[in-house]
Structure 1
């Protein structure tokens, strides 16, 4: 079933999906009437018209991360006797480290859609870059007070496959936007944003106590995540004071915070493995790296929810 855009509605909440643009979320918003006027506020950064027309996932509200999350150093790794040789895939950068997996740059198929639920599917054949065949799915359930996303990736090959899974939400931000997240440690990165050492960086304590997003300039993985992040926005032209809880289930035990300087957005990502985990396995424990080895026919499942609140 080919479908370019899907709109789900539940109460005042709206969810827009773009299956052909990497199986992405185009918008997640609240729409209501106030003093006779239609108003709208966004929980995720809405996709731009240009991104929709050009099919650019980096301009969407969120996109899936399969079959790995974040970067692989130089696109090279060995696993179960097979070699990963991925080419760089960031359209706006000359970095040699491919990122975000494969699913975000492939069109997904709409398997089912109703007013409040949609399921997208993807099938990928093995090639020289990723030498395993796999399939993936996303199911979006919208209620009057929550968006729940269920994900799965299945090894369709004949030997074990490394697997990671997650999502890449972009949240709107201004100088007053705050975030509270409890974690155990942070992976400090090198100049290419690849992890080199675990530390109890000051950001761990600041996030646990709640902090303005603008006060942190980070692009880092965190371990020991409590699987919950709390985001707050003050009242502004787009609506009253509001908040959102992002709540995840295992194996989404890792958290990525991307907070660029002076930006109008930030990313708070629930993921199942840290960056470059396939190349760090010999030096670090599974508790610090995450990641999965899927036997032929085995499926990795994950779920997270976005729960908005407003006054």
Structure 2
């Protein structure tokens, strides 16, 4: 199949999947209202095989030091899969399955599979990384850009979540390793939610959307005027060094996030 945009529909919800643009969800419309910031770098992109920044682009892979390109100098950020074209494995009216084979500069072979599944009142994204070769550390996560304002005379979105802790952020925007009490925003910060990610975005009078995941890490970024980001992920920024999750031939790394909405 080609890697042209895919449109999924369920009820009055519509999702655009862009295999050719890094496997991202390019748009989510509910009742004709676009919830995601538009533009080729926005929507919601997959973060894989790592999330957020890697300090100096370097991580330990077993006993071997690895260097990733510094695409956010002096660090490497958000993985490699968002820069590549994904392949389409299967499409129905309300579900798309797309895959991406890890290539240089990532040092290991592996396959990423993302399932985008739409229902009338929710969108479920599932991503897995598997290998049939050597084991390696990895992370997966999502980086959605939700529109701060839905247009018309609507109010800006409000964020509501109750994390157990906040990762203290150093001057280099990376976690120091200390956990602190959650601080007020604006944020470009990682939070711990051991019971699972649970963040509610409310556009008053319009829509309430809940971002949920069984994972316990979420990065919240709301320092830009146009959008706010709520990013469920399998570990904190720089996690390839501090909280590595191993992908092995017997055990893939898999995560899911569900966004469910109700009209107000």
TM-score, with length taken from structure 2: 0.91
Distance 2:106 2:88 in 1: 24
Q: State which of 79, 85, 89 in structure 2 corresponds to 1:101.
A: 79
Report what 1:292 is aligned to: 245
Q: Is the 8 A contact 1:71 1:276 kept in 2?
A: yes
Q: Which runs of 5+ in 1 are unaligned?
A: 32-39, 52-57, 207-215, 236-240, 281-288
Q: State which of 132, 137, 140 in structure 1 corresponds to 2:108.
A: 132
C-alpha RMSD over aligned residues: 1.7
Q: How does 1:148-163 map to 2 (within 5 A)?
A: 148-158=124-134, 160-163=135-138
Q: Is the 8 A contact 1:12 1:144 kept in 2?
A: yes
Q: Which runs of 5+ in 2 are unaligned?
A: 150-154
Report what 2:254 is aligned to: 301
Distance 2:146 2:8 in 1: 19
Q: Is the 8 A contact 2:36 2:145 kept in 1?
A: yes
1:120-171 CA-to-partner distances (Å, cap 9, x unmatched) read: 001123x4x422111101111111111111111012322x200111111111
Q: CA deviation at 1:200?
A: 2.8
Report what 1:219 is aligned to: 188
Q: CA deviation at 1:70?
A: 0.7
Distance 1:110 1:303 in 2: 19
The answer to whether structure 1 residue 186 and structure 2 residue 155 are counterparts is: no
Q: CA deviation at 1:87?
A: 0.9
1:223-264 CA-to-partner distances (Å, cap 9, x unmatched) read: 2343211110024xxxxx211011112xx2101001115x12
3-state DSSP class of the match of 2:53?
coil
TM-score, with length taken from structure 1: 0.78
Distance 1:270 1:202 in 2: 17
Q: CA deviation at 1:297?
A: 4.7
Q: Is the 8 A contact 1:7 1:17 kept in 2?
A: yes
The answer to whether structure 1 residue 171 and structure 2 residue 146 are counterparts is: yes
Work out the number of aligned pairs and report it: 258
3-state DSSP class of the match of 1:229?
strand
Question: Larger strand proportion, structure 1 or 2?
Answer: 2
Distance 1:265 1:75 in 2: 27
3-state DSSP class of the match of 1:192?
coil
Q: Is the 8 A contact 1:186 1:220 kept in 2?
A: yes
Distance 2:187 2:132 in 1: 36
Question: Larger helix proportion, structure 1 or 2?
Answer: 1
Q: Is the 8 A contact 1:83 1:131 kept in 2?
A: no
Change (3 A) 1:74 1:306: same
Q: State which of 179, 198, 205 in structure 2 corresponds to 1:228.
A: 198
Q: CA deviation at 1:22?
A: 0.3
